[in-house]
Amino acid sequence: MSVSMTVAAETSSKKTPTRSINRRILAAAWSTTSFKIGFFIFLVLLLFSLIYPEVSSISAVKMTVRDKFLPPLFLGDHWTWIHPLGTDQLGRDMLMRCLIGLRYSLMIGIFTVILIFILGCGLGLFAGFKGKWWDTVIMRITDAQLSVPMIILAITILGVTRPSVETIIIVLGLSGWPLYARVARSAAVTERGKEYVRGLRVLGAGDWRILLLFAAPNILPPIAFVAVLDVARMMIFEAILGFLGLGIQPPTPSFGSIIADSRKYLINAWWIATSPGVFLAVALTSINLMGSTLEKARNKIYGGM
């Protein structure tokens, strides 16, 4: 058998099992009740936050002072079907404000993880595959950034800029990539020493072609499964920044800003702070159910190989 036929057979056999393993991980996760529950809750929350504010005539920012501190449904003597979760200190509808806050929290969480994944894994794969001084420089930058806590770096940058959705995503993304870079770099170093990579180089394939077409598809999917859990972590960071006044700026509502503004009303109007907390807790639970199930399925399948 010629060298080209041997390498072709090795690369084909390498890619097919990898795709098969990824499908097995997804199938194993989907077969569990916890993943289905988490996925259903997440889908309902996502669709509800995207659709309901667009079709409803109720505004999340319109103030109606005469309707302030209306309690949620079936609580007290002044509740109304128009405001099922009650109103805040300025008469704004709590359901609409929580849904808008959920929309931005999910948006920031998802897009931040995508940015972290692309940046961190891209640099890690490049460092691990190229080696030499590229690896040294990128890993030293990674070590330097890991020495600064992520939330401190985000607060420092957002404190001197005007926070916006785009800015928050970029800041959190630039703060969180080192961990992904380290994991991807370790996997790339292992992949670089395998037979099919050496064979492809003998045939004249360049590093970029090998990295993008053969190595990356083998390395990235398992990392992506674990990255689902980081969506919840980024949503928590977004809420912390909003609570500190460094998140999405008023009048646009966010979970952190709603909770921060309602601290003085905890005794007489507890639902103002509780409503966004419940929405955030349910969203985080659904994401953690999916992420933890994917991670368990991944560990089980790779552990049994």
Tens of pLDDT, residue by residue over 268-300, are 899 999 999 999 999 999 999 999 999 888 888
Tens of pLDDT, residue by residue over 11-35, are 444 444 566 777 888 888 899 999 9
| H/E segment holding residue 125 | helix 94-130
The answer to whether position 72 is within a domain reads: no
Q: Which of 233, 101, 241, 102 is nearest to 176 (CA)?
A: 233
The answer to whether position 62 is within a domain reads: no
With contact defined as beta carbons under 8 Å apart, do 251 and 61 qualify?
yes
pLDDT tier for residue 10 given thresholds of 50, 70 and 90 = very low
CB atoms within 10 A of CB 120: 24
142, 156, 231 from 237: Cα distances, Å: 21, 14, 10
**Number of domains composing the chain:** 1
The residue segments making up the domain with residue 231 are 3-54+84-303
The answer to whether position 258 is within a domain reads: yes
pTM of the model: 0.86
CATH number at residue 35: 1.10.3720.10
